[in-house]
Amino acid sequence: MAYDKDKLGNVRINTDLNTLKAAAERIKSDPKQVEQFKSDPSAFLSRFGIELDQDTLSRVQSHLSARQTAAAAGAAQAGLIHVDI
């Protein structure tokens, strides 16, 4: 598994497309999975063989916290996943 950051500080997690699809499908198929991802993203993703370093985990948790704060304030926030093939 490889990690890198672009000039804006965005984190990229390099994994194969099938692994990423499996994790995304799991989240979409069951609301309980969303809660498990939110409560412990590292443990959730590790079930699919996706490991996060501490910096990446911190960024994911920060992103989830910001989305939760925005939702509590009534703001709608778009999500984005970019997949380079």
pLDDT at 19: 87
pTM of the model: 0.62
CA dist 55 and 66 (Å) reads 17
The domain limits of the chain are: 2-72
Q: Which comes out higher in pLDDT, residue 41 or 73? A: 41
pLDDT tens readout for residues 28-61:
888 888 889 889 988 988 888 888 888 888 888 8
pLDDT tens readout for residues 10-25:
666 667 888 888 888 8
pLDDT at 34: 84
Neighbours of 67 (CB within 10 A): 14
